[in-house]
Amino acid sequence: MANANANHAIECTVTNCANHCGSENYCVLDKIRVGTHEVNPTMSQCTDCQSFQMKK
């Protein structure tokens, strides 16, 4: 989705995500889902953006 409209409420530096703005470090989605891969998350590294889609 390169050069799509950036959602300035969602910053993102994951450039290999299909939802990354491309020209700016923002997501193009209206909202994202944040989840965890841990039973009891205690650090930011325990969380994941579950809206991630690999760029094709």
Show the 3-state SS of the chain: CCCCCCEEEEECCCCCECCECCCCCEECCCCCCEEECCCCCCCHHHEEECCCCECC
The predicted structure's pLDDT at residue 33: 98
pLDDT value, residue 29:
97
pLDDT, tens only, 7-49: 999 999 999 999 999 999 999 999 999 999 999 999 999 999 9
Q: 51 near 43, Cβ under 8 Å? A: no
Q: Where are the domains of the chain?
A: 7-49
d(CA 36, CA 8): 23
User: What is the value of pTM for the model shown?
Assistant: 0.82
